[in-house]
Structure formats: structure tokens, C-alpha cells
Structure 1
Amino acid sequence: MREKQITFSPRHHQLTNSNVWTADSQWLAFDVRPSGASFTSDTIERVNVESGEVEVLYRATDGAHVGVVTVSPDLPPRYLCIHGPEQPDADWHYDFHHRRGVIVQNGRAQNLDACDITPPFTPGALRGGSHVHLFSPDGSRVSFTYNDHVMHEKDVTEDLRNVGVAVPLRAVAPVKQHPREYDGSHFCVLISRTTATPQPGSDEINRAYEEGWIGTRGYQKEDGSWQRWAIAFIGDTLSAAGEKQPEVFIVDLPEALEDYARPGDDPLEGSENGLPAPPAGVQQRRLTFTTRGLAQQPRHWLRSAPDGSAIAFLMADAQGVIQLWTVSPNGGAPRQVTQLAQGVQSAFSWHPQGAAIAFISDDRVMCCDISSGACQPLTERGEQPPSGDAVVWSPDGRQIAFMREVDGWRQLFTVPA
């Protein structure tokens, strides 16, 4: 039980729930929001877990704020974060549909996603705000959640949360017809499809969120072939009784970059009356059909085993206790992994080799063996329990990063694993 406090300054330190370590397991990236729900950080920073040295990676200007930083899985590291609008005003300030992703290197930020909110819209550009950007396990692509400015202005109930990807097909430079439009380094498309009025009892959803890449090289299908690129997410269905019923969905993605630019039945770039649509052949598939459902669960992200064989998620058991479960990317019955009396209290992450998962339960950081479900506490109970926002294994598998409040300030900690 040798947890180590890494940061000590009188301010809050906020980790994202995944991809916060540099590939050499030496540095943790963070922002300085006072809480996960407040987007007021001026900087993204990193701290060396051995020396405690802190470096400012990027400082926002012109009234903008930054946060929710993640790190690429390669070296030298690229840092990816949410960037709010510069010179915010009453009409255009930080919101779900007014934000973007930026890649930070050497103190400079480059826009990931282009923005085009004036028709005719531009394929590969977004029309609103991207959020929680996660590099794929090889660092070539990025997933994100998305909200749409055009639909928000038309009818706020049509601005539905979706999942998208940014691929290195080509940079996108829309014709600028509005002062808030800008270029992006990557070609961006939505990969989920939502409707404001799902048919009760169907697989239709009105919200897609909390996505995760599948496997370090995809997953093996039942016929033995490999699907190289796929993403799982939570989709909100309606039960036959008309109640919200979150379920696990998966989307298989193209391997060839140029296939992301091939439109399906609806325009990639969207229309004045409709959201951007997935590329040709990209279809979401429902994996879980639960009766208790994920609806009462804490906010959480789906995370795949490194070999792509299982997608982990949280769901209550028959007694109402939140447990860790897995489901195959090919579907089938979910497997309950844990039998905890206190339940899972946090986001979670896989060991890089896939044999275990780390999370918080009973106010302690736990290491859970995936095959047996046995859980070993790695920290002692203290006056201040660890934060449930992030419990993240290092790339070398030797340490787990988490947050705990000390004297009123959220500080970063590690514990040997």
C-alpha cells in the first residue's frame, strides 16, 4: 500500500479517464479545472511521476479555456485537448456545440477538426463541438463525441450527441463565410446515427456517447477474420415501455482512409435540416439487450481488452450493486466479472496486457483479475476517498494514476501495480 503523491501545489489537478500517460510511463498530463464539470482551465500541463517536475504544455489566450487532455501512444508525445472559443461573447461561448479538439506540440496548438457552419457545408468538416478526444491505440486516428451548432440553432432537441472519428486522410479548409469557421488537420466524420424519436423497443438511439476503440489491432470476428478498426459506445434506446435504456453498441470502421470520404445515403457533411451522416457502409450494431439496463449507472466509458476480445462496462447486478461486466464485440450474453459488495465507484482501465482492470471500490483503488473476478486493494481507506473520475494504468503496467483531495485541493497520485 505505497501510494505516492505526485503533485503538491494549492490548485486542482484533473486527469482525463484514459490516455493520460506518456508512452514511456514517465509523465502524466492534466489540466487545472476546479472540477470535472467546470471548463475554466487556462493551461494543460504535465508532471514527471519520479521527480515531480511540472511543465506547462500549452496556455490558452484571448479568453479561451482548455482541458480534458489526452496523450498519444507514441514518442515524442502529442497532446490532445478540448479548446474553447477565443474572444467568447454572448452569442459564441464555450458550450457542447462550441468547442474543438487541438493537438499540442512544442507549445503550439493545431486544430484537429475543421468547422463549417454556413451552407453549403464541407465534407470532412464538423459543424459544432468535439469533446473527449482519444487517440487510437496506434496513434493514427482520434475518436470524440460531438454536438452540432447548426441543428442546435434550428431546434435544440435535434442537437443530438454523437460519436465521430478524425482520420489523417487530408487537412480540411472550408470556405470561411463566418468568423467562427476554421481549418482542421484531419478529415472528420460521424460514425453513429441518432434520431430524436427512437421507436420504442427498437435499436434506434437518440444519444451516442462514452466511446472506446476496440483492441490494439481491432477484434477477431466469429469467422476468424480480423476487423482492424472498430469503436464501441453507449447508445440510449427506448424500451418497449418508452423508458430510456442505455445499451452497448459497436461500429466497424473502414480500413482504407479514402473510404471515410465516401458518403452513404445521407451527406457526410449534413444538411440544413439534418446532422452529418456516417460514411458508406458504416452501420452501428447493438451488442447488449439488458432488462435492468445501464440507465441507473454512473457516467462511464467503454473500454476494450487490448486483444479486442471483450468490451468492459458497468451495470448493476440483480441486487442493484454496480459491477464490472464484459461483452464480446461479436455479441452474445454479457459476463459479470466482479461480485463486489460495495460496487464499482469509478471509471476504469485495463492492464496493458489485458489480464486485469483497475477501478475504485470501497473507497480504495482495486486491481481486478479478469479471469476470476478477484479484487485486490492497492490503497488504504483514508479520510478522502480517491476521485472516481480517473483510474489509469501506465503503459508499462507498473503504476496506476488516480486523484485524491488533500487539504481541499485535488492532487495526483500513483500506486504500484
Structure 2
Amino acid sequence: MKKIFILCLALTLTVFTVKGICADTDVKIKQLTADSKSHGLGIFDAWSGDDEWIVYACGPNHLNDLIEKVSTKTGEIVTLYKIDNQTEYGPGCGTPSYCPTQDKVVFIHGPRNFGPDQKYEFWRRSAAVIREPDYNRPVFIDARDVTSPFTPGALRGGTHCHEWSHDGEWVAFTYNDMIMAELEKKTGRTLDLRTIGVSANIKPVDVDEDSAGENFDGEWFSVQLVEVVPDPEPGSDEISRAYENCWVGYEGYTDKNGKTQRAVAFKGKVVDNTGREVPEIFIVDIPDDIQADSSAHPLEGTENKMPSPPLGTKWRRLTYTADRKYPGLTVDPRFWLRTSPKGDKIFFLARDDNGINQIYYVLSLGGPIVQVTSQATDVMSTPSISSDGGRICYICEGCVYVTEISGMRTFRVTNPAEKPASSPIWSNSGDRIAFNRAVEGSGGRFLQIFITEPF
């Protein structure tokens, strides 16, 4: 791996002013990147803990070969991780996220053994962590063991969309199982069922080597959190897919008994009484000891069964939307759940009675669904919540919008452009927003990063 190098862009940061919908709202926008490659913001925690840097992946998809960060003050660009042997089969990297407590970044890393028969797949990827000053020495946190007997604390597939917990000691992810994917090919049944899990910095996990190079050790202990089934019973809370999850809160969440609890909210795909698949919101409370299991439900799974959640893991359903005119959560656009800083509200997209995507929330302990936005056209992004929990930003009409949750005052932050804005993310201080927009440049259009001045 090459040593770290710093590229100082010889560009003048572009600053311009946008007049908001409200006459008293003037927001200045600054373009941070301008070189001829795409700078894709991830879903979670693009800002460093001190808001000095923004991290992103370079390229159009998971077969990116470069992770960088850009200074929010000067536009200086630093290479964090570079794959020198990138091919069409792998390894690839993408969707980086900053740890809130330390100068380290987690991101998707594709297969280290790659080729025509071992290409990048949903079930062949893992979490890599890089940190100052050893950016060129990634640490792989989730172990992988795809040869029986399997290993507790190791997974049998691939993880992605990694999100740090508030203390930086846990990482949540979505998961696809390689053993079930191979069994699906043999049986023709739908068994490659996406679910969610966590890795915890409690102990390393060593696995046996295999001739194909599919197995590898991990520095953290990893488990699956939610059971999924191929054919949920109509009208039940059984889930065929758990996905697009987020940690519940960043300042602490207490369960129904008042106990401080680690928890993850997720979309769960159920089947309603008419036989229709509908995504609903669920929450899973994570036990303190994720190493405990039972002989009937081993953490590591079997050749015919997915890994089981730790003993004491509990999940429950929060939304029941069958009686709405448009049941379920929004499917298009794809979005991730987000929570308020205190963990009391879970935000999501759903269609109103006019069929328009709006932002709603439901309390993490349960309750009625509350509508937040009332836009005339679709909300088109994952919502992002400010650090004080008072404001939410999102994309509508190709522009960045902000809605103040308490008074529901809404204003537009950016003007319409030929190419819409995307991926808005609040800074940790809650006074700035970063977002992407495609800009014409040398060699074509590339995603560039913009930020607002404090407002």
C-alpha cells in the first residue's frame, strides 16, 4: 500500500448566496471539491467529529478504489485509502463513515480474494476501519467463516452500510449470508434473506484457514440480530427482510422498563392479510452479552440455517400501516431510517393520502405516526436530523430543504439546478449541511461536495 499523500487542490472555493422561500433566509453555499472524479457522500456520519473534514468515496459504485476526505475550511484533499489492484471483480470499497469519538473511518471493503469466480457480491464484503495516522493499514473488524463447523462471533457472508454507535465501540450493519445464497442456488428457494447485525469491540475472532481464501479473522465480535424467514405468515409480524437500519439515538435510549439500552431500528418486510409485501418499522433491543446463545440456536448458524441472534435479543414492531391509503413505508426512493439524538423518534418516508412522499416519525417506544413535512412534491432522500433534534433536512424538487420540527416551518436552502442535489447530511454542530450535486467538468459530469455556511 502506498504511503499517505496529501493533494492540495489549486482551486478557489466557490461561495454563493441562495435566497430561501422565507424572505429573511439567506444561506451561503460553498463548493468543496472540483476535480474530475465523483465524490459520493455516504449515508451516515460524513462529517468528522470536529466538523473539520468530510469523508467520501470516489467513483460510481462499490467497485470504487479510493476513499478521501476534504477540509471544510480550505478544500485540501487527503487520500485515506487507495486500492492499487482494483479490477472489475473486486475488491472495491465505499460508503465511508466517521467515528463520532475518534479519528477513524469505517467503510465497505470487497473480497481480498477476487477473480472471475470470486467476484464482489453482497455476501463477499466486510467492514474495514482506518485511523490516523495508519490510514494505509486497514483493520478488518468482522471475521468470516464459510466452512463448517462455523465459528461463534464470525459471520458467513457480507456486511455493508456500516454505522458507528455513539461511543465508537460498536458498528451496526446489514448482512447477506453466503451459505444461504449457495443453498438457494441448489434448491431454488429464496433463502438469501437480508438481515441486520452488529460488531462489538470486545474480543478478536480467529477462524480456520480454507483453501479458497474465503475465511479471515476479525478484530471484533459480530452477530446477527434479527431472524428472517422465507415465507412470512400473512398478517403476522414475521419478517422476510430486515434492512436500511440505524442506531436508535445518540444520547441514550431507554426501553419500556426504563433501562438504558442499545437498540437498532430497521425496516422489516412483512406480508399483510391480502398477501402483499409491506415494509414496516421495527426496533431490536440488544442484550448486554452478545456472546450468549443456546445449543438449539447457535450464533454461528448451521449448514441449513442462518446464524441466530444472541440470547435475550428482542425485537418489536412499531408501525401498522395496513389501514392507510398507501400502506407501508416508501419504496422509491430508497432511504434509511434515522433517529432523533435522544432516540425518542424514528424518522422515515411514507406516502400521504395524495400519494406524495413525506417525512414522518414514530416514537421508539410506540405510538401514532406523526407527519412532519407537507410538501407538494415527493421528498426524495434519507432525512437527516440536526444534533439538537430540532431541524430536519432533505431533498425535494432537487433542492435542499429544512423543516423545523416543532413549528413545522419549512424553507428552501438551495435553488433549483439542472442536476438535483442529493445526500444532505447535517454537521455534528447542527449549523451546516453537506450535500452532493453533479457538476459539469473536464471529462463529464461528476458528483461534487457542497456545504452551507453556518445558519
The change in CA–CA distance for 1:221 and 1:151 in structure 2 (over 3 A counts) is closer
Q: Tell me, what secondary structure is at the counterpart of 2:347? A: strand
- Which of the residues 126, 130, 134 maps onto 2:163? 134
Deviations 1:150-196 (A, max 9, x none): 11111152111010000112000112234121010110001111001
Residues 399 and 420 in structure 2, CA contact (< 8 A), matched pair in contact too = yes
Does residue 298 of structure 2 align to residue 263 of structure 1? no
Residue 396 of structure 2 is matched in structure 1 by 361
State TM-score, norm by structure 2: 0.87
CA distance in 2, matches of 1:129, 1:221: 30
Residue 216 of structure 1 is matched in structure 2 by 250
CA distance in 1, matches of 2:342, 2:329: 25
CA distance in 2, matches of 1:142, 1:87: 24
Does residue 32 of structure 2 align to residue 6 of structure 1? yes
Residue 346 of structure 1 is matched in structure 2 by 381
- One-letter amino acid matched to 1:142: V
Does residue 109 of structure 2 align to residue 83 of structure 1? yes
Deviations 1:256-282 (A, max 9, x none): xxx100014511001000011100110
CA distance in 2, matches of 1:377, 1:13: 24
Q: Tell me, what secondary structure is at the counterpart of 1:220? A: coil
- One-letter amino acid matched to 2:174: T
- Which of the residues 199, 219, 239 maps onto 1:205? 239
Stretches of structure 2 that go unaligned for 5 or more consecutive residues are 1-17, 19-27
- One-letter amino acid matched to 2:162: H
**How far is the alpha carbon of 1:297 from its aligned partner?**
3.9
Say how many residue pairs are matched.
407
Q: Tell me, what secondary structure is at the counterpart of 2:238? A: coil
Per mean C-alpha deviation after superposition, the further-off stretch among 137-146 and 59-68 is: 59-68
Does residue 136 of structure 2 align to residue 103 of structure 1? no
Q: Tell me, what secondary structure is at the counterpart of 1:260? A: coil
Residues 70 and 79 in structure 1, CA contact (< 8 A), matched pair in contact too = yes
CA distance in 2, matches of 1:334, 1:345: 20
Residues 194 and 243 in structure 2, CA contact (< 8 A), matched pair in contact too = yes
CA distance in 2, matches of 1:160, 1:339: 35
- Which of the residues 36, 58, 61 maps onto 2:81? 58
Residues 114 and 120 in structure 2, CA contact (< 8 A), matched pair in contact too = yes
CA distance in 2, matches of 1:222, 1:141: 23
Residues 260 and 279 in structure 1, CA contact (< 8 A), matched pair in contact too = yes
**How far is the alpha carbon of 1:87 from its aligned partner?**
4.4
Residue 74 of structure 1 is matched in structure 2 by 101
CA distance in 2, matches of 1:226, 1:337: 29
Larger Rg: 2
Residue 448 of structure 2 is matched in structure 1 by 411
Residue 47 of structure 2 is matched in structure 1 by 21
Q: Tell me, what secondary structure is at the counterpart of 1:347? A: coil
1:18-417 equivalence runs, <5 A: 18-34=44-60, 38-63=61-86, 64-75=91-102, 77-105=103-131, 106-107=134-135, 108-156=137-185, 157-178=190-211, 179-223=213-257, 225-255=258-288, 259-264=289-294, 265-291=296-322, 292-387=327-422, 390-407=423-440, 408-416=445-453, 417=455
CA distance in 2, matches of 1:128, 1:90: 18
CA distance in 2, matches of 1:6, 1:318: 39
Identity %: 38
Residues 330 and 357 in structure 2, CA contact (< 8 A), matched pair in contact too = no
Residues 359 and 383 in structure 2, CA contact (< 8 A), matched pair in contact too = no
CA distance in 1, matches of 2:331, 2:386: 27
Q: Tell me, what secondary structure is at the counterpart of 1:150? A: helix
**How far is the alpha carbon of 1:41 from its aligned partner?**
1.1
- One-letter amino acid matched to 1:199: E
Deviations 1:91-117 (A, max 9, x none): 211010011110012221111100000
**How far is the alpha carbon of 1:74 from its aligned partner?**
1.6
Residues 143 and 216 in structure 2, CA contact (< 8 A), matched pair in contact too = yes
- One-letter amino acid matched to 1:263: D
**How far is the alpha carbon of 1:122 from its aligned partner?**
0.3
- One-letter amino acid matched to 1:326: Y
CA distance in 1, matches of 2:262, 2:254: 11
Residues 61 and 86 in structure 1, CA contact (< 8 A), matched pair in contact too = no
CA distance in 1, matches of 2:166, 2:392: 17
**How far is the alpha carbon of 1:296 from its aligned partner?**
3.8
Deviations 1:290-310 (A, max 9, x none): 022115442111111001110
Stretches of structure 1 that go unaligned for 5 or more consecutive residues are none
Per mean C-alpha deviation after superposition, the further-off stretch among 360-369 and 121-130 is: 360-369
